Amino acid sequence: MLPSPKTASFPTIQEIWEQYRPDLLKVESQIQKSLASEVPLINQIALYILNSGGKRIRPLLMILSSKLCSSHQGEDHILLAAVVEFIHTATLLHDDVIDEGNLRRGKKTARTLWGNHASILVGDYLYASAVGHGLSLNNQEVNLVLQKACGHMIEGEMVQHTHNSDLGIRETDYLRIIQHKTASLIAASCQLGGIAGGGSAERKESLFQFGQNLGIAFQVADDTLDYIAQKQRLGKTLGADLKEGKVTLPMIHLLRTCSDEGKRQVIRTFGSDGSSEKQFDQILDLMHRHGSIEYAFSVARGYVEKAKGFLAAFEPSVHRTALHVVADYVVSRDH
Amino acid sequence: MLPSPKTASFPTIQEIWEQYRPDLLKVESQIQKSLASEVPLINQIALYILNSGGKRIRPLLMILSSKLCSSHQGEDHILLAAVVEFIHTATLLHDDVIDEGNLRRGKKTARTLWGNHASILVGDYLYASAVGHGLSLNNQEVNLVLQKACGHMIEGEMVQHTHNSDLGIRETDYLRIIQHKTASLIAASCQLGGIAGGGSAERKESLFQFGQNLGIAFQVADDTLDYIAQKQRLGKTLGADLKEGKVTLPMIHLLRTCSDEGKRQVIRTFGSDGSSEKQFDQILDLMHRHGSIEYAFSVARGYVEKAKGFLAAFEPSVHRTALHVVADYVVSRDH
């Protein structure tokens, strides 16, 4: 295949995946190797979800962050990428039980196939296993970064639940929640890449900030796609957040800008299990008319630009370019 | 109160609790101090379950194990006791969701009061927090002991679930399950006490073995009490295991010794949600006639004696005596 004219100046996300495939394959191999429970069913369930089509964004960010810092190149970033993917997978397993989710990425969730108990326990196992593999590096800095990220993720999830069906939630509260529940682990992935690559304290902090802003952008985009993505691409039911009572940025914007009649319409629809496709379409129509979808994407893009700003401290390189491309990708994927 | 004549030779469990109260109070204070989430609801739920009447057996074993080894006396065992109690509490929160339990120690479970999502997330938080507090000691030996125990606990729970309603489960399988799901953390508590007390490798191994055998005894006794304890003492529904399809030692013994008609009766009753009190009484009557309850207690006592054997390596002391008393207590409590 001939490279497209664009390739010479700025690679596409597909070209980035190709370029770093050798490292990503090492991560895949590490994931398989690290899953070594004596209980075959634990490995089976964990592999089912680990291999269910996740894009390995966190491992890719870790690899790129590590290479961005590194003159010497060890293999710690490969192990740490598997660790972070284990933690991410543990949260998916628990989230599915919490949200009573039946589909994820277009496939049946583990709880649908094996039951809630298996999802909870395999999630617990993956987390404990991640801690164990992290400990094997005997690096207290690594341990503390991972532990802090996990604490924040769980706190973010908990605060999100206390705001369930809270139509009065403010944009700042929403952003703080997603900073904790989503951006913490993405920030940690970048920071750990910096640690594995032997980066200076300043560079590791820049990578953390890059990841944190990118993580916020990622979740804002994800929440917005929940309203507008094509069903087959999203791999789950459209409007799931609306049905579950999750108030995300497009809705916060809508409620801030629409008329009282619009608000009443939202209240009637919101959190109603039986809300029809027609009701959903009406809400979506309101959002389009008030520019709520466009607003949410503009916020996401703003965080992407802020994230990129933290890369300015690094000299230009293929790895820095790749991080820019990945950053743009997280707010443009699937639509 | 005058001491009973027995006191001079061998203290009672109540006297042991009194004797070590200063340390246990430090553990209580550490538990409160260590619960420092920025999310008040997490602290509230965690404290509800942490203060719901657990006997703090693991902290007591940790304190005694530490003192048994120690000439110098630091405070690491206090922090580690809180860590182990956090891990134990995390498993209770997740178990209640898995077993759909509504009562624990006679009080409503967290999931009944705050929902499954809160139980799962606060369990996750307590585990992450335990890891964090463990890490603060910057002692790789401690980290590895904790991590191994957690892995085994979860594997034990998972294997137990794969054997749910399996009336063909063998005694050796059952014992291996409870060794993992229950004895791992009790063994780790004793081993960590040895580490905190600066014990030799040999002594730490003896304490681990003591704890492991005691942990098995503890769970066998607990499973047997599920059939015969007085309801108000057990704090949960009698015969819960029978209803949930958990095949424990009294049942394994009964099926090994009863007639085909007895087996058919068990099969009819087992795992039936609607099994009546009358049916339960019939099973219990069968167990009494076949000596199944007495057999299970004798197995538990056997493990207690085996546990005590591992203390022979230590010179006689008040702490060793106290460990003997606690060991006897775990198979005699509540009946």
ipTM for this prediction: 0.91
Judge whether residue B323 has pLDDT over 60.
yes
A158 to B118: CB separation less than 8 angstroms, yes or no? yes
- Rounded CA-CA distance A36/A273 in Å is 40
Asked if the model's pLDDT at residue B304 lies above 50, the reply is: yes
pLDDT of residue A38: 93
Residue pair A41/B158 in contact by the 8 Å Cβ criterion: yes
What are residue A47's phi and psi, to 5 degrees?
Answer: -70, -35
pLDDT of B7 strictly over 60: no
For residue A69, being part of any structural domain is answered with yes
What chain B residue is nearest to A155 in terms of C-alpha separation? B39
The number of domains in chain A is 1
Q: Does A312 touch chain B (CB under 8 A)?
A: no
Q: What is the CA radius of gyration of chain A?
A: 20
Smallest CA–CA distance, residue A155 to chain B, in Å, is 6
The helix/strand/coil state of B226 is helix
Q: Which two tokens stand for residue B116?
A: 């499954």
CA B308 → CA A298, B23, B327, distances in Å?
A: 68, 23, 7
Output B281 or B152, whichever has higher pLDDT. B152
B12 touches A at CB < 8 Å: no
Q: Is residue A3 part of a domain?
A: no
pTM above 0.90, yes or no: yes
- Which whole number is the average pLDDT over A125-136? 96
- Residue B134 above 50 pLDDT? yes
Q: CA-CA distance, B36 to A154, in Å (whole number)? A: 13
Write out pLDDT tens, residues B98-111. Answer: 988 888 888 899 99
How many residues comprise chain B? 335
The predicted pLDDT at position A170 comes to 97
Domain membership of residue A124 (yes or no) is yes
Domain membership of residue A279 as a residue range: 11-330
pLDDT tens per residue, range A214-240: 999 999 999 999 998 765 455 556 677
Chain mean pLDDT for chain B? 91
- Token pair listed for A56: 């390995």
∠ CA B34-B87-A148, rounded to 5°: 55
Question: Tens of pLDDT along B223-241?
Answer: 999 998 765 455 556 677 8
pLDDT in tens, B181-205: 999 999 999 999 999 999 999 999 9
B220 is a domain residue:
yes
B98 touches chain A (CB under 8 A): yes
pLDDT band at A5; cut points 50, 70, 90 = very low
Q: Tell whether A176 is covered by a domain.
A: yes
Per-residue confidence (pLDDT) for residue A6, from 0 to 100: 46
**Least reliable range by pLDDT among A107-116, A304-313, B120-129:** A107-116
The residue-averaged pLDDT of B30-41 equals 94
Q: Which stretch, A69-78, B62-71, B264-273, has highest mean pLDDT?
A: B62-71
Instruction: Assess if residue B309 is contained within a domain.
Output: yes
Residue A7 has a pLDDT of 44
Q: Within a domain: residue A274?
A: yes
- Which range has the worst mean pLDDT, A165-174, A322-331, B72-81? B72-81
Which residues in chain B touch residue A166, judged by CB atoms under 8 angstroms apart? none
The reply to whether A127 falls in a domain is yes
Q: Which chain B residues touch A157 with a CB distance below 8 Å? A: 121
The Cα–Cα gap between A236 and A72 comes to 42
- For residue A120, pLDDT over 90 is answered with yes
Q: How large is the average pLDDT for residues A183-209?
A: 97
Cβ proximity of A77 and A207 under 8 Å: no
Neighbouring C-alpha atoms within 13 Å toward the C-beta of A44: 7
Nearest CA of chain B to the CA of A173: how many Å?
13
CATH of the domain at B69: 1.10.600.10
Is the pLDDT reported for residue B4 higher than 80?
no
Q: How many Å apart are CA A310 and CA A204, to the nearest integer?
A: 11
Which of A251, A245, A199 lies closest to A70 in space, CA to CA? A199
Q: Do B143 and A144 touch (CB under 8 A)?
A: no
Model pLDDT, residue A272: 65
- The reported pLDDT for the residue numbered A71 is 62
How would residue A147 be classed by pLDDT, with cut points 50, 70 and 90? very high
Rounded to whole angstroms, how far apart are CA atoms B261 and A180?
Answer: 59
Band of the pLDDT at B6, cuts 50, 70, 90? very low
B113 touches chain A (CB under 8 A): no
